[in-house]
Amino acid sequence: SSLNASIIPSEFTNPNLEVLYTAEQIKQRVIQLGQQISQDYAGNKNLVLIGILKGSCIFMADLMRAVDLELIIDFMAVSSYKDGTVSSGDIEILKDLTHPIRGKDVIICEDIVDTGLTLFRLTEILGSRGANSIRVATLLDKPETRKKEIKIDYCGFQVPNKFVVGCGLDAAGRYRNLPFIGVVKNPSL
């Protein structure tokens, strides 16, 4: 491997993980999404990428470097109010944006769209703040578990109805640093 190779290893070895998408596949796909965004927003100097923490951190870092436009970035952290283990659909803002988005063209960057409840509420909130446009980019889409219909404008990959980790996604805080997307075989290990 060359000295210019990625700073991350292509694979980590963990016998408890089944690889769904490799680091190389993710890299290539995110470059495609960046090129698509660059075309769709060509000439636009009003773009804000909003990363939803913590899960979007790696996708956001990769995506913004693949977008050949003037843009700014911002972050939010939200948590969904749960009724026991079932999401109620309302969200609490744990960390808000640092800049107003009135008149801005926003792309919300998510790690995964599952039920869609978080994004549904988030788009309502950001829309009420007077954004000029709001689109959604997500690394992963788990369509089988959707409860609210959400338009996803830029999607990396679809995943089956399994708990996936890596590339920013966690299981109780673990595995966010994995460079690939995997499924945990035995969650109790």
| Under rule CB under 6 A, residue 116 binds ligand XMP | yes
Q: 172: Cβ–Cβ under 8 A, 6 or more apart, which residues? A: none
- How far is residue 165's CA from residue 173's CA, in Å, rounded to a whole number? 10
Angle between helices 23-40 and 57-65 (to 10 degrees): 60
**Minimum gap (Å) between residue 46 Cβ and ligand XMP:** 26
Among 34, 55, 156, 182, binds ligand XMP (CB under 6 A): 55
CA dihedral 55, 56, 57, 61 (to 10 degrees): 160
Taking CB under 5 A as the criterion, the residue among 34, 51, 55, 166 binding Mg ion is 55
Q: Catalytic residue at 141?
A: no
Considering the complex, state which of residue 56 and residue 123 has its C-beta at the smaller distance from Mg ion. Answer: 56
For residue 91, the partner it binds in Mg ion, ligand XMP, none, with Cβ less than 5 to 8 A by kind, is: none
Part of the chain binding ligand XMP (CB under 6 A), chosen from 1-9, 22-30, 66-74, 158-166: 158-166
In angstroms, the CA 120 to CA 39 distance is: 26
| Residues with Cβ within 8 Å of residue 78, at least 6 apart in sequence | 52, 91, 92, 93, 94, 118, 122
- Select the binding partner of residue 114 from Mg ion, ligand XMP, none (C-beta < 5 to 8 A, by kind): ligand XMP
Binding positions for ligand XMP, rule: CB under 6 A? 55, 80, 87, 110-118, 163-165, 169-170
Residues with catalytic roles? 114
